[in-house]
Chains A and B, each alone.
Chain A
Amino acid sequence: MSERSLTAIRHSKSRQQQLLRVVRWVLTVILIFYAVFPAVWVLSASLDPRNSLAQQALIPPNASLENYRALFNNPVQPFGRWMLNSIKISTMTSILAVMISALASYAFSRFRFTGRRNLLLTILLIQVFPNFLAMVAIFLLLQQLGNYIPWLGLGTHGGLILAYLGGALGINTWLMKGFFDSIPRDLDESAKIDGATDWQIFSRIIFPLVRPILAVVGILTFIGTYSDYILASILLKDRDSLTLAVGLFQLIDGQYSQKWGLFAAGAILGAVPIVIVYLLLQDYIVGGLTQGAVKG
């Protein structure tokens, strides 16, 4: 190949790359617009005091916090209550689920016993079926249980949390066990020689070291619970006891033209905490997700 043709190739190649860069930036703009527009549009709607689906413009004239104020001042849609209910239920579910799962993972990781493999496989297999599929059974079970333990009955947050916790063991246990396995056993052994019990080893040595995976599982459980509609809608009935997902759906369903701005304010308040957590911890969460955890 002559000197000249080589430069020609190099030239055409760099031109090709330049073209690629331009295309990429154009695509980037389009993609970001696509990804972000609904969020921006809702933010704008929430600030538009006209509360109208039809007239809304991207930049609302007379922007105000009127919709936000209205959201908290109407007992017919106790938005603040719904939000607190959701946060309470999701927090308790995720904390309890992490504890339950961490205990089991520790046992799977550190103890050797017959049937260990089969037990782990059984748990993984059973949890393949999301328990909301058996919604009728759960509904009837809580209905009866409520006659004896009122705070676990139908329509109570306790009962709903109980239903969520049925899935505490499962793929999370598998994720956690993998992480536990990566912590050298020498640590336990030396602690044991010093006379530490298993519980002390677990709570003082292992637990602090596995905090990252506990955080990931906790956050994913939190978000999954926060986003659940089906179980909450079946098991909760009182307006004041609803979660955000059920309440917001009831608020807006069939009333888009009347309540759009109000709903938008609720959507923003309901989404912002989760989005912030997500963006801050995206590296952790992505790691968990690619290993098979599922977000609701």
Chain B
Amino acid sequence: MTRATTGGGASRPSTSLKLSDVAFRLIGLALIDAVAIWLLMQMMADGVWILVTLLLIITIGINVVFLRPELYPLRWMSPGLALMLLMVVYPLVFTVYTAFTNYSDGHLLTKQQAIERMTTGLQNMYVPEGGTTYSWVAFQAEDGTYALWLTDEEGNHYFAKPGEPIQPATAGEGIFGPPDENGVPTSIEGYTRLNRIQAATNRDLPNIQFGEPPDAVQIRTPSEAAILQPRYVYDEELDAIIDQKEGKIYYANDEVGFFVSEDGETLNPGYIVTVGWRNFERLFNSPAIRGPVLRVFLWTVVFAAASVITTFALGLFIALLYNDPTIRWRKVIRSFLIIPYAIPAFISILVWRGMMNPQFGVLNRTLFDLFGYSPPWFSDPMWARLGVILVNLWLGFPYMMLVCSGALQAIPSDIYEAAEIDGASMWQRFRHITLPLLLVSVGPLLISSFAFNFNNFNIIYLFNRGNPPMSGTPTPVGHTDILVTYVYRLAFASGGGKDYGYASAITIIIFLIVASITFFQFRYTRMWEEVSENV
């Protein structure tokens, strides 16, 4: 800490700057900036402001760092810091923000986007009262554009092209070929007639307005076309959407993220609004949610603690068993025992699932032969929990074994000799010498292991997807779900509707817990001091 630093704050005694270095750096920066500006222009045109902000921060940051000599050390870190900003810091910030919104199925758009969605597009058009409907036949010109031959209810014919006024027309006159039995020309000069199937399956036709707005005709169904009006119109002054057909007004309600009429009806889609602490209140106050979440939380803690304790106990036991360096084949035995740890966990978990299959798995067949009972690992809540912990024990004990045998070797042997002379039993030596000394060095790793298992997605999800399911919960939850798999269900599993806002609220709770564990660990291991001293 007191070590002298060269030259106050900024550090590098600048080595003689070579011109080629500077040129190289400037050309590199110019290239990066050119790409960034090109991307920024496109993003700004589309209004994706989040991306714009992120890219802007990163680009400006890189420029500053590479142009200011006093920030020289940061140049070396810039790739890592940029990636961290993009893929860790921003997602964290976004998660915190989302936790205070109603972001969920039905509320996936911003207000602006929702208004656009409701006021445009064919599905939001309607035939005004007294409006005319036509039957239609489509023609396609050689250049690919379309035209419609329209027949109204009285039998009058019209020819309509996009962007031009609709003209009355008669088959057999001018460019129009002789009529068929419906009075539709069999051919039109410069056009080919589309048959019914071609016309009905054409994807472009319904989106084209034939004629000049506002009197343009659009196709509504395979048999009908009409002059359509937008049904919903947004009124900026009222901040409301007016239903032209029913004459109803839906006012924007920024509390719930819906346009709501006076009689309480809402328009879909809703939009994203901030809802304050509502997601958290739901978590703590709604009985239907609080119960399952509390159980998930408790199980998460139990699972993580049980995983640490069981793996540590077995690992320590094995480490003690082979602590004597004179044991033959010690290295070979260790290589065998390390195998569960060397196999990628996702593979082992799936293998165990097969071996624990209640009907056919080798473990269950053996247990049935021995005890006449085959544990229902995947359908019974208690057995499922036990199963997860047992599989995790197999996955994790080698790590603890390695860690403990390392730590055991660091305990000086003369302490044991002294204890032996004083007549201490083997158990006493373990209880009063080995364990306390071991915990000092292994303790921090036990805490990391707890934090790791707290978010151990793979074991829970791959073993049984968090099932068996709890009954009577508002969204699907399983008896072996831990918080992180519960979040995954809420955000990505189908059924029950995705609820990002609520999922983010739970994520924040996970953050807080992990942060406190880490804080405790840093305190415990004095990592802060270590960092300060080693700087």
Contact = CB atoms under 8 A, between A and B. Distances in A.
B487 interface: yes
A34 B42 CA distance: 59
B92 A134 contact: yes
Contacts of A294: 448, 452
A103 B77 contact: yes
Contact of B90 (A137, A230, A289): A137
Contacts of B359: 54, 257
Nearest to B338: A282
Given A227-B346, A267-B347, A117 B532 contact: yes
B117 interface: no
B440 interface: no
A79 interface: no
B518 A267 contact: no
| Chain B interface extent, by class | 35 or more
A192 to B, nearest CB: 8
A208 interface: no
A245 interface: yes
Contacts of A198: 15
Contacts of A123: 84
B336 to A, nearest CB: 5
Interface stretch (B169-177, B429-437, B502-510): B502-510
A103 B79 contact: yes
A38 B351 contact: yes
Interface string A259-296: 01001100100110011001100100010011010111
B84 A271 contact: no
Contacts of B155: none
A279 B336 CA distance: 9
A113 B11 contact: yes
Interface string A101-139: 101101110011110110111011111111111111110
Given A162-B87, A166-B87, A252 B362 contact: no
Given A252-B354, A278-B342, A117 B348 contact: no
Contact of A41 (B338, B355, B403, B515): B355
Interface stretch (B179-187, B199-207, B282-290, B454-462): B454-462
B302 interface: no
Given A292-B448, A296-B345, A132 B457 contact: yes
Interface stretch (B141-149, B263-271, B380-388, B394-402): B394-402
B337 A111 contact: no
B83 interface: yes
A88 to B, nearest CB: 16
Contact of B355 (A31, A38, A141, A178): A38
B535 A120 contact: yes
B491 interface: yes
A138 B87 contact: yes
B528 interface: yes
Interface stretch (B46-54, B210-218, B239-247): B46-54
A124 B535 CA distance: 14
Contact of A131 (B91, B348, B360, B406): B91
Nearest to B535: A117
Given A136-B98, A279-B335, A169 B77 contact: yes
Contacts of A127: 84, 88
Contacts of A257: 357, 359-360
B72 interface: yes
A169 B528 CA distance: 18
A136 B501 CA distance: 10
A126 B354 contact: no
Interface in A223-263: 223, 226-227, 229-230, 234, 245, 248-249, 252, 256-257, 260, 263
A274 B98 contact: no
B472 interface: no
A134 B507 contact: yes
B534 A162 contact: no
B259 interface: no
A209 interface: no
Contacts of B500: 136
Interface in A24-41: 24, 27-28, 31-32, 34-36, 38-39, 41
Interface in B268-301: none
Interface stretch (A2-10, A67-75, A142-150): A142-150
A248 B335 CA distance: 27
A53 interface: yes
A165 interface: yes
Contacts of A116: 73, 535
Given A32-B337, A35-B398, A181 B534 contact: yes
A252 B350 contact: yes
B67 interface: no
A197 B531 contact: no
B400 to A, nearest CB: 11
A131 B95 CA distance: 11
Contacts of B42: 148
Which of B46, B79, B87, B458 is most buried by chain A, counting CB atoms within 10 A of its CB? B87
Nearest to B393: A34
A42 interface: yes
A77 interface: no
A115 B205 CA distance: 63
B57 to A, nearest CB: 14
Nearest to B503: A136
B39 interface: yes
A125 B531 CA distance: 12
B10 interface: yes
Given A123-B84, A125-B518, A223-B344, A137 B98 contact: yes
Closest 4 CB pairs of A and B: A166-B87, A134-B91, A278-B342, A137-B91
Given A270-B344, A271-B343, A279-B335, 11 more contacts: A38-B348, A41-B355, A104-B77, A107-B74, A108-B77, A114-B9, A126-B92, A129-B514, A132-B484, A197-B15, A286-B402
Interface of B: 5-6, 9-12, 15, 21, 39, 42-43, 46, 48, 50-51, 70, 72-77, 79-81, 83-84, 86-92, 94-95, 98, 318, 321-322, 327, 333-348, 350-355, 357, 359-362, 394, 398-399, 402-403, 406, 444-445, 448, 451-452, 455, 457-458, 461-462, 484, 487-488, 491-492, 500, 503-504, 507, 510-511, 514-515, 518, 527-528, 531-532, 534-535
23 contacts: A32-B336, A52-B360, A53-B360, A104-B80, A107-B76, A111-B76, A112-B5, A112-B11, A113-B73, A117-B531, A128-B451, A131-B88, A141-B50, A144-B50, A147-B46, A181-B534, A249-B350, A256-B357, A257-B357, A263-B354, A270-B344, A286-B402, A295-B341
